Amino acid sequence: MAATTDTAQHNESGVTLPVLKREKLILNDRSYHWITDRICGIVENKQPFLWWLMFIPASLIALIGVGGGLFHLVSTGVGVWGNTNRVMWGWPIVNFVFWIGIGHAGTLISAILFLTRQNWRTSINRAAEAMTIFAVMCAGIFPAFHVGRVWFAWFLAPIPNANGIWQNFKSPLLWDVFAVSTYFTVSLIFWFLGMVPDLATIRDRCKPGIRKVLYGIFALGWRGGNRQWSHYEMAYLLLAALATPLVLSVHSVVSFDFATSVVPGWHTTIFPPYFVAGAIFGGFAMVLTIMIPARFIYGLQDLITMKHIDNMGKIILLTGTIVGYAYLMELFVAFYSGAIYEMDAFKFRIAGPYWWAYAMMMSCNVLSPQIFWFKACRENLWIVMIVCMCVNVGMWFERFVIIVTTLARMWLPGDWKTFSPSGQDQMLFVGTIGMFLALFLLFLRFLPCINIAEVKWTKLESDPHFDDNEAQPDAGAENIAAYQKETATDKI
Amino acid sequence: MSNTRKRVYGYLAEFKSASALYKAAAKVRDAGFRKWDCYTPYPVHGLDDAMGLKRSILPWFVFFGGITGCATGFALAYTTQVVIYPTVVQAKPTNIFTIPAFFPVLFELTILFSAFTVLFGLLGLIQLPRLNHPLFASKQFHRATDDGFFIAIEARDAKFSPEGTRDLLAEIGGDNIELVEEEEN
């Protein structure tokens, strides 16, 4: 599926040479109008039954889990969480790192794949960016309420207060505040700016009325003039260039929360790249987890092709292998350091009471994606879905292993404790899953889930020179490269 | 209709494809028009040259936006940590040598201010948001965000003439040539 061969022109010696052809990003030669119709149709038509079947439970879970869970937490006190004396970060920070990691694939697809001119990103970048926004929203809940008295959460912001106290700018926790809030803001700008031309498309298709006014306001009056496109493309390029180091910095800063401490198992220099690779890995898995069903429900097979899924499968394989390397390197460094505390921390992870979490992490993150070496597995959507679900679970366990098993055995044996999450802990986490799904379903319902303008741009006839061949001075000349001639003569 | 006067915005002509638009744009440029634009459903690469547009100056705005962000981050961190409220934690100094610990904040604020400059700089350069535009009065212009390729030449261009411009648009391959008028209140 990755590359189809095309029989090339016969050359003078009569030998037919195979030429590698790029696979099309839009199948069945769909017209511009078809693309507009199909994507805007999702927003304009009634939602399929499956949408309601997922939206109602998801929003109920969100309401009970996040709404009810947080109400109970705030009205009772942060003690309802199972964060015991030593494992104070416990489940909330596991979930924070998990969600913030999910959020990384969106900006990666949008920014890094844009800078490297990977045109296949156009079909998936919008949904991935939306996923980023919603995942960061889910992530933000945990540290905000983990501070204990949430009504003092504004103490995190560097603003003058009555106590005359300022934040500690040398602390990774404050870096985190800056990194995560910047990441959310920049992702939001990126997402919104990318959506403006598509909102204009929806606006122009609306009948006059409240919908037209609302889409019109958010489309900012976009007209699609080249004097606008010219600046717009520059703006998009700049945002991509700004978001690329940003996305790498955010999870690095999150990893500093751990790496700058002097705790065995955390105090390692491998953490920033290891966290970033893990975040991209988990994020891509989540993109596939939600895009494969959406593609099926809304009939987007011609826009999100098997080629896209194949590419994402390969990225999951690559980043999964990097993560596997990081796990093994951690073990090796612990062994090679000769530090007994370091070695003990890892022995405890592998063979301690949390061995099952470590085993889950290893099998889901390192072993399960290896199946993507086989093309048949990347083409079977059931297998892809199963692997992606494994990765989602595995990445959660990775954070559990890093945070909980380390904190459960710190320096003082008197502090040693086995952590188990309370009911409220579990309720809030399940609630954020519901919230994430419900927000994503609302996004599918109200906003263009595929970048209409950029998908159109990937069509061959979108290039203004695509029919210029006849006008070129060398039209009709032998269209064969010198090296191909040599190969041809060799065969005779 | 009694009292509404109409002002001519200009001519709008449709072209059948991106390449037809591209060739037509070069001819409009060579005819010496200044106030005109090509409307396309997606960014057509190469049209900037065909229209004679210069490279966007947005990067310069963003450069200064980024510098402002970095300076803000430094002022914030240095003032609070060294000048107003020096606290020795983790045995780190509270003087000019504390700067390495401020790098993450400097970096994030550089990016944040740059991104805001991109957003507001862009909106300034493309003169949006605006609630309406004379072109929206056209019956065919809604296709510019779907599958239509248009050129609009404005009446306020010095070279504009009611017949000459229409003939030029027809000559370079424009279809459905339409005189777009805006209502004056």
Q: Which domain holds residue B99?
A: 58-125
Say whether residue A242 is in contact with chain B using an 8 A CB cutoff.
yes
Residues in B closer than 8 angstroms to A462, CB to CB, are: 18, 42, 44
Residue B41 to residue A456, Cβ atoms within 8 A: yes
- Residues with Cβ within 8 Å of residue A467, at least 6 apart in sequence: A461, B17, B19
Mean pLDDT of chain A: 88
Is the per-residue pLDDT at A8 higher than 50? no
Regarding whether B139 and B86 lie in a shared domain, the answer is no
8 Å CB contact of A223 and B39: yes
Across the interface, whether the CB atoms of A231 and B76 are under 8 A apart is answered no
Per-residue pLDDT tens digits for A451-474: 999 999 988 888 888 776 655 555
In this prediction, residue A85 carries a pLDDT of 73
Contact A434, A59 (CB under 8 A): yes
Residue contact B133–A223, C-beta within 8 A:
yes
Residue A444 has pLDDT above 90, yes or no: yes
CA distance A181 to A250: 10
How far is A478 from A485, CA to CA, in rounded Å? 11
Question: What's the rounded mean pLDDT across residues A284-289?
Answer: 93
Cβ(B12)–Cβ(B144) under 8 Å? no
- Statement to judge: residues B27 and B114 lie in one domain: no
* Mean pLDDT within B54-68: 95
Q: How far apart are CA B8 and CA A324, in angstroms?
A: 67
* One domain for residues B45 and B62: no
Nearest to B114 by CA among A280, A97, A239, A68: A239
For tokens 């009504």, the residue is: A151
Chain B residues within an 8 Å CB radius of A472? none
According to DSSP H, which parts of A147-225 are helical? Answer: 172-205, 210-218
pLDDT higher than 70, residue A17: no
| Residue A5 confidence (pLDDT) | 44
Are B77 and B109 in the same domain? yes
Interface of A with B in 157-196 (CB under 8 A): 158, 164-172, 174-175, 178-179, 182, 185-186, 189-190, 193
Chain B residues touching A467 at Cβ < 8 A: 17, 19
User: Closest to A464 (Cβ–Cβ): which among B47, B115, B147?
Assistant: B47
CB < 8 Å to B132, chain A: 221
Binary contact (B37, A227; C-beta < 8 A): yes
- Statement to judge: residues B118 and B159 lie in one domain: no
Same domain, B78 and B168: no
Tell me which residue in B18, B111, B145 faces A224 most closely, judged by beta carbons: B145
**Closest CB from B98, B114, B130 relative to A221:** B130
Could you tell me what percent of chain B has a pLDDT over 90? 74
Across the range A82-88, mean pLDDT stands at 80
Give B-chain residues touching A179 at CB under 8 angstroms: 104, 108
Cα angle A403, A263, A320; round to 5: 45
Across the interface, do A235 and B142 touch by the CB < 8 Å criterion?
A: no
Domain count, chain B: 2
A467 in contact with chain B, both atoms CB, cutoff 8 A: yes
Q: Provide the residue type at B131 as one letter.
A: L
> Of B125, B145, B173, at which residue does a domain stop?
B125
Are A226 and B144 an interchain contact pair (Cβ–Cβ within 8 Å)? no
Q: Is B180 part of the contact surface with chain A (CB cutoff 8 Å)?
A: no
The residue among B89, B105, B125 that closes a domain is B125
Q: Which residue of B has its CA nearest to A215?
A: B131
Provide the shortest C-alpha distance from residue B79 to chain A (in Å).
10
Nearest to B92 among A170, A185, A234 (CB): A170
pLDDT band at residue A211 using 50, 70 and 90 as cut-offs: very high
Q: How many residues does chain B have?
A: 185
The torsion angles phi and psi of A4, rounded to 5 degrees, stand at: -100, 145
Instruction: Identify the pLDDT of residue A429.
Output: 95
Neighbours of B143 (CB within 10 A): 20
β-bridge partners, B8: B181
Q: Establish if A197 touches chain B: CB-CB under 8 angstroms.
A: yes
> Of B125, B154, B174, which one is at a domain's C-terminal end?
B125
Give the gap in angstroms from C-alpha A141 to the nearest C-alpha of chain B.
21
pLDDT(A2) > 50: no
CB contact under 8 A, A464 and B108: no
Q: Kindly tell me if the per-residue pLDDT of A419 is higher than 80.
A: yes
The whole-number average pLDDT for the span A31-54 is 92
Nearest CA-CA distance, residue A196 and chain B, Å: 11
Over residues B14-37, the pLDDT tens digits come to 999 999 999 999 999 999 999 999
State percent of chain A over pLDDT 90: 62
pLDDT band, residue A4 (cuts 50/70/90): very low
Cβ <8 Å between B126 and A246: no
Top residue of A163, A234, A255 to mutate, by most chain B CBs within 10 Å, is A234
Assembly ipTM = 0.94
> Pick from A203, A221, A462: which is nearest to B133 by CB?
A221
- Which of the pair, A18 or A60, is modelled with greater confidence? A60
Please report the pLDDT score of residue A391 as a whole number: 96
Q: Report the pLDDT value the prediction gives residue B24, as an integer from 0 to 100.
A: 94
pLDDT for the residue numbered A480: 56
**Residue of A36, A37, A165, A166 to mutate when probing chain B, most B C-beta within 10 A:** A166
Of B40, B59, B142, the CB nearest to A226: B40
CA distance B126 to A223: 10
Confidence of residue A478 (pLDDT cuts 50, 70, 90): low
| pLDDT at residue A197 greater than cutoff 70 | yes
Q: Both B67 and B29 in a single domain?
A: no
Both B136 and B48 in a single domain? Answer: yes
Asked whether the beta carbons of residue A232 and residue B22 sit closer than 8 angstroms, the reply is no
Q: Looking at the predicted structure, is the pLDDT value of residue A73 above 50?
A: yes
Shared domain check, B158 and B118: no
CB contact (8 A) between residue A466 and residue B19: yes
**Which residues does A69 contact at the CB level (< 8 Å), separation at least 6?**
A424, A427, A428, A431
Q: Model confidence at A491, in pLDDT bands (50, 70, 90)? A: very low
Residues B79 and B109 grouped into a single domain: yes
Confidence band of A492 (pLDDT split at 50, 70, 90): very low
Same domain as B111, residue B147: no
Contact A463 B121 (CB under 8 A): no
Nearest CA in chain B to A193: B119
Q: Touching check for B99 and chain A: CB below 8 Å?
A: no
- Please, which pLDDT band fits residue A13 given cuts at 50, 70 and 90? low
- pLDDT higher than threshold 80 for residue B4: no
Mean of pLDDT values over A403-427: 87
Percent helix, strand, coil in chain A, to 5, is: 70, 5, 25
Percent of chain B with pLDDT over 70: 97
Q: Encode pLDDT of B93-135 as tens digits.
A: 888 888 899 999 999 999 999 999 999 999 999 998 988 899 9
Q: Report yes or no: A44 at the B interface, CB cutoff 8 Å.
A: no
Average pLDDT score over residue span A120-139: 92
Residues B145 and B110 in one domain: no
* Complete domains list, chain A, with CATH: 4-157+167-449 (1.20.1630.10)
